[in-house]
Amino acid sequence: MAEPYGKLIAHQDAAAVEAACQAMGLSSTQFAELASRVAAAKATAYCPYSQFRVGTTLLAADGETYISGANVENAAYPVGTCAERVAMGRAVTDGFREFKAVAVATDISPPASSCGMCRQFMREFCALSTPILMFDKNGDFMVLTMGQLLPQSFGPENLPPPPPLTGIKGK
């Protein structure tokens, strides 16, 4: 596995952060935006049952649009939704369907990675090379690509093309 993927990078280690940014194809500004926005997103979590806050911030393919979300729990526990799916659902319905990077933040260390359902959900809209940045409680982070998080995955290109939607207003 090529550096810097799969190892914890201290946010104070400027050289390591810079190397990670280069490997991910992100500018230092984009990285800093992701880091601060995902921390802010985490603070918006609605998690009265687990108290496990998760934030997600997506950087759209345009390189300048950031879309955030957080986990939203429910008294009927399985109904709750993870931060990744909240953010990506929001992005997709806002017209953003390709992403340059995904950041996820939690309050633990080492950082948590996305659950299986979210990996599949993100796979629909992320290239296998898309970096997923996982921030821990200290702001340190680990990066894995979409393909590393979900190997041998099933995606849209594995299905035959669907028939066009017809007879629906606005289509």
Active site residues: 84
- Does 5 show up as a binding residue in the annotation? no
User: CB 54 → Zn ion: shortest distance, Å?
Assistant: 8
- Does 138 show up as a binding residue in the annotation? no
From residue 4 to residue 43, what is the string marking binding to Zn ion with x (rule CB under 5 A)?
A: ----------------------------------------
**Residue 85 one-letter amino acid:** R
Query: CA-to-CA distance for 101 and 25, rounded, in angstroms?
Result: 9
- Does 75 show up as a binding residue in the annotation? yes
- Does 82 show up as a binding residue in the annotation? yes
Pair 68, 41: CB distance under 8 Å: yes
Give me the residue whose beta carbon is nearest to Zn ion: 82
Question: How many residues bind Zn ion, per CB under 5 A?
Answer: 3
The gap from C-alpha 162 to its chain's centroid, in whole angstroms, comes to 27
Query: CA-to-CA distance for 39 and 37, rounded, in angstroms?
Result: 5
Find the helix packing angle between 28-42 and 83-93, rounded to 10°. 120
Closest by Cα among 43, 23, 20 to 32: 20
Nearer Cβ to Zn ion, position 82 or 146?
82
Nearer Cβ to Zn ion, position 19 or 155?
155
Per CB under 5 A, 118 contacts Zn ion: yes
Pairing of strands 66-70, 141-145: unpaired
Q: What is the CA radius of gyration of the chain?
A: 16
Per CB under 5 A, 82 contacts Zn ion: yes
Nearer Cβ to Zn ion, position 20 or 118?
118
Query: CA-to-CA distance for 107 and 88, rounded, in angstroms?
Result: 21
- Does 77 show up as a binding residue in the annotation? yes
Summarize the annotated binding site for substrate as residue ranges: 71-77
Summarize the annotated binding site as residue ranges: 71-77, 82, 115, 118
Contact footprint for Zn ion (CB under 5 A): 82, 115, 118
